[in-house]
Amino acid sequence: MSLNKEVVLQGAKDAFGAPAAVLFAGMVGFGAMGQANGLDIWLTSATSFFMFALPGQVVLIEMLVLGASGVAIAFAVTLTATRFFTMCLTLFPQFPEKQRSSFYYVLVHFMAMTSWAIAMKDFPKMEPEKRLSYFTGFALVCWGVSTPGTALGYLIAGQVPSYLNLGMVFINPLFFLLTFTEVKPRANRIAILLGAVIGPVSYLWFPNYSLLIAGLVGGTIAYSVDLSLRKKAIA
């Protein structure tokens, strides 16, 4: 493993600012949710430390409160996490093949939608040799602020008025929505539009599988449309 310390620090520095602040706020909101639902602070914080996937964490708490079985909970959370599979398949090939090592299996735990989205946007402009170091610094900061944020949110839950909490819960999805406007490749732009429609609609009928359906159907249609447009441009 050969990380360039300077680039790692640059990634870490860039993460401080909007990305880490947004994630931190989301985790504070999540900590407050854990407290409001009567979970203990250790379990609530452990989800951020060991799972580090906010939508999955919310599903976990929601189902614990409903008294669902452990198997049902694990199943539902695992299904919400499917996105990590294709996020990895589109992130790691952008690192030079000679840098591949078992370190990837550690690093991947620190990947969040935030760091993935930033990597997809900025990697094309970055030298391939710098990407792994940059991502390491960036992702570690995002992960690093999450558990303290969760614990803090839990501890101050009673004192924070709900209108402020509301802002913290909302800032996360809003951030992702806004990053979508900066996505450049045509196929991905079409995919975002289709996913945005198919996701909520399919959720009404198949809540567990809605993300998979939206991803496969929306993504495949978007890719096909883009492919046929590319072929037309050549012809």
Partner 1 sequence: MPETVDLSNMFNDAGMWAALIAACLGTYLWRGLGVFLSGKISQDSEIFKWLSAVTYAMVAALTLRIILLPVGLLSTVPIYVRLTVTILALIVMYSKPGERMVPALLTGTLALVLYALAINYIN
Residues in 110-149 at the binding interface with partner 1, rule: CB under 8 A: 111, 113, 117, 120
Cα 88 off chain centre by: 11
Neighbouring C-beta atoms of residue 123, cutoff 10 Å: 17
Over 71-89, what HEC string results? Answer: HHHHHHHHHHCCHHHHHHH
| Nearest Cα to Cα of residue 135 among 182, 88, 178 | 88
Residue carrying the six token digits 């599903």: 59
Tell me the closest approach of the beta carbon of residue 205 to partner 1, in angstroms: 12
Rank residues 5 and 14 by Cβ distance to partner 1 and give the closer one: 14
Minimum distance of partner 1 from residue 192's CB (angstroms): 4
The kind and range of the H/E element at 52 are none
Contact positions with partner 1 (CB under 8 A) in 76-115: 77-78, 80-94, 97, 100, 104-105, 108-109, 111, 113
Site for partner 1 in 11-40 (CB under 8 A): 18, 22, 29, 33, 36-39
The DSSP line for 128-184 is HHHHHHHHHHHHHHHHHHHHHHHHHHHHHTTTS-HHHHHHHHHHHHHHHHHHHTT--
Cβ proximity to partner 1: between 89 and 235 the closer is 89
CB of 8 to partner 1, least distance (A): 19
Q: Give the x-and-dash track for 149-188 against partner 1 (CB under 8 A).
A: ------------xxxxxxx-xxxxxxxxxxxxxxx-x-xx
Nearer to partner 1, 21 or 148 (CB): 21
- Residue 26 or 137 with smaller CB distance to partner 1: 26
Binding to partner 1 by residue 229, rule CB under 8 A?
no
| 5/161 with CB nearer partner 1 | 161
| Residue type for position 79 | L
